[in-house]
C-alpha cells in the first residue's frame, strides 16, 4: 500500500480535531493493521478507526474484531502496568531507594487515550548506592543483568529496568556532559509527581523540559545503534504537544538549542522535528528547534524500514542469536554509516564503549 496513505491515516488518528482524510475510501485496512503492528502503534491507529463515521467504509468484520482484540489486550496490559508501578515504587522506597518513572507509562499519560499506547517494560530511575541497588535487584531476580546505565530484571511477569542514570552517550566527553545535566536536575525529577490514572496517583516522572532532553538522548542512541520506530516518535509528538512548547519564549528556545548543541543532540533533534511536522502533522508552533529536511528524511527512511526499535531491519544487531563478538560487529557496521553526520558518536563513541563500560563496572564492583 502507498506509504503516504498510511501516514495520512496516522495523522488523523493522532489529532482528534482532524477531518477524515479524502484518501480514506480506498484504504487497505489489512496493510494499515500490519503497519501498526510493525511500528507498535496498533492501539493508536484503532482510536482513529473508532472515530470513522458509521456511513463511511470500515474494515471488514473479521479484521475489525481481530484489531479490537489487539486493542483490548493493549488496554489490559496498560492497566496492569499502571497498577504495578505504584507497588514497585513503594517497594523500592521501603528499602530506602527513591524512584522516578521514565518513558513508558509516564509517556502514555500524555496521550488523548493513554490506554491505547502499546506498553513495554517499566523503566525506573532509582537514587541510591549502586552496589546496594544491584544486591536488592538480585534478591528479586538472581539472574538480573547489570550494564552501565541500568539493571535488567524480571519482577513477577514484568520486565523491569532499574536505572542508575536515565540515558548515556557513547562518546565519553558528551556522556560526561549528559550525566552532569542529569545530576544537576535530579532532585526536581524525583519531586515531580503526577497521576497515571484515576486509581494511580503520586508517581514521580520527569518534568517536560528534562523529558525533552532525556528522550532526545534516548532516541538518538537507539537510532544510531539499533533503530527506532514510530511508537517512540509518537511519544515525542505528545511530549511536545502536551508540554506547551508553543508557549516557549524566543529566549527559552535559544537556551534549549544551546543545551542540545552542548549535549551533541542538536542535529538529531532537528531531523526529529522534520519527521514530527511533515510526517506526523505536528503544528510548527510546537517545534523546539528548526527542522532539518535531509536529516529527517534519513531518519524517516530508517523508521519505516526497521519498525519498532529496528526489529525488522536485517542489519540490526538484535536480529538472530549471535555471540557477543558478532553482535558487536553488527553494531559497528550500523554505526559507521553515521560517521559523516555523527562522528563523535560513530567514530569516537561506539567503538570504545565496551572498553569503558567494563572499566566502569569493574571499578564500581557491580558484577
pLDDT digits (tens, 9 = 90+) for 164-212: 999 999 898 999 999 999 999 999 999 999 999 888 889 999 999 999 9
CB < 8 Å & 24+ apart, contacts of 61-70:
63/29, 63/30, 63/33, 66/33, 67/33, 67/42, 70/37, 70/42, 70/43, 70/46
**Beta strand pairing call for 158-163 and 122-127:** parallel
**DSSP string computed for 229-284:** -HHHHHHHHHHHHTTTGGG--HHHHHHHHHHHHHTT-HHHHHHHHHIIIIIS---G
Mapping DSSP to helix (H, G, I), strand (E, B) and coil, where does residue 169 land? coil
Least confident window among 14-23, 90-99, 225-234: 14-23
Mean pLDDT of the chain: 90
Query: What is the grid cell recorded at 55?
Result: 456511513
All structural domains of the chain, each given as residue ranges with its CATH number in brackets, are 1-59 (no CATH), 78-206 (3.30.460)
pLDDT at 124 over 60: yes
CB < 8 Å & 24+ apart, contacts of 357-360:
357/147, 357/148, 360/148
pLDDT of residue 1: 59
Mapping DSSP to helix (H, G, I), strand (E, B) and coil, where does residue 219 land? helix
With cut-offs at 50, 70 and 90, classify the pLDDT of residue 117: very high
Query: What does each C-alpha distance from 241 to 236, 246, 280 come to in angstroms?
Result: 8, 8, 12
Name the nearest CA neighbour of 86 among 207, 193, 200: 200
pLDDT of residue 317: 62
Helical (H) or strand (E) element with 98:
strand 98-102
pLDDT at 265 over 90: yes
CA distance 121 to 150: 13
pLDDT digits (tens, 9 = 90+) for 301-317: 999 998 777 776 666 66
Query: What is the grid cell recorded at 326?
Result: 558478532
Average pLDDT rounded to a whole number, residues 47-58: 91
Contact 350, 224 (CB under 8 A): yes
With cut-offs at 50, 70 and 90, classify the pLDDT of residue 214: very high
Contact 168, 178 (CB under 8 A): yes
Amino acid at each position: 500500500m502507498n506509504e503516504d496513505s498510511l501516514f495520512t491515516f496516522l495523522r488523523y488518528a493522532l489529532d482528534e480535531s482532524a477531518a477524515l482524510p479524502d484518501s480514506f475510501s480506498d484504504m487497505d485496512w489489512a496493510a494499515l493493521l500490519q503497519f501498526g503492528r510493525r511500528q507498535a502503534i496498533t492501539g493508536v491507529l484503532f482510536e482513529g478507526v473508532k472515530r470513522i463515521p458509521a456511513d463511511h467504509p470500515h474494515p471488514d468484520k473479521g479484521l475489525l474484531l481481530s484489531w479490537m482484540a489487539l486493542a483490548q489486550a493493549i488496554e489490559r496490559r496498560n492497566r496492569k502496568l499502571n497498577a504495578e508501578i505504584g507497588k514497585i515504587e513503594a517497594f523500592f522506597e521501603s528499602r530506602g531507594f527513591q524512584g522516578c518513572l521514565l518513558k513508558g507509562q509516564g509517556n502514555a499519560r500524555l496521550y488523548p487515550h493513554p490506554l491505547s499506547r502499546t506498553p513495554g517494560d517499566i523503566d525506573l530511575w532509582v537514587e541510591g548506592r549502586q552496589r546496594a541497588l544491584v544486591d536488592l535487584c538480585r534478591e528479586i531476580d538472581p539472574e538480573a543483568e547489570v550494564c552501565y546505565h541500568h539493571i535488567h530484571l524480571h519482577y513477577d511477569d514484568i520486565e523491569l529496568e532499574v536505572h542508575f542514570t536515565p540515558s548515556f552517550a557513547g562518546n565519553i566527553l558528551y556522556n560526561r556532559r549528559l550525566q552532569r545535566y542529569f545530576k544537576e536536575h535530579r532532585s526536581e525529577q524525583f519531586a515531580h509527581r503526577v497521576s497515571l490514572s484515576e486509581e494511580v496517583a503520586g508517581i514521580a516522572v520527569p518534568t517536560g523540559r528534562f523529558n525533552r532532553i532525556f528522550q532526545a538522548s534516548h532516541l538518538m542512541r537507539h537510532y544510531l545503534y539499533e533503530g527506532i520506530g514510530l511508537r517512540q516518535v509518537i511519544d515525542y509528538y505528545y511530549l511536545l504537544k502536551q508540554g506547551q512548547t508553543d508557549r516557549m519564549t524566543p529566549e527559552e528556545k535559544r537556551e534549549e538549542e544551546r543545551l542540545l548543541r552542548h549535549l551533541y543532540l542538536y542535529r538529531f533533534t532537528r531531523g526529529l522535528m522534520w519527521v514530527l511536522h511533515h510526517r506526523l502533522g505536528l503544528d510548527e508552533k510546537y517545534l523546539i528547534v528548526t527542522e532539518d529536511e535531509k536529516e529527517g528524511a534519513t531518519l524517516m527512511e530508517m523508521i519505516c524500514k526497521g519498525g519498532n526499535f529496528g526489529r525488522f531491519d536485517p542489519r540490526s544487531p538484535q536480529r538472530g542469536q549471535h555471540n557477543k563478538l558478532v553482535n558487536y560487529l553488527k553494531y559497528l557496521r550500523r554505526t559507521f554509516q553515521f560517521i559523516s553526520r555523527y562522528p563523535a558518536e560513530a567514530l569516537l563513541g561506539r567503538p570504545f564503549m565496551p572498553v569503558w563500560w567494563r572499566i566502569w563496572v569493574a571499578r564500581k564492583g557491580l558484577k
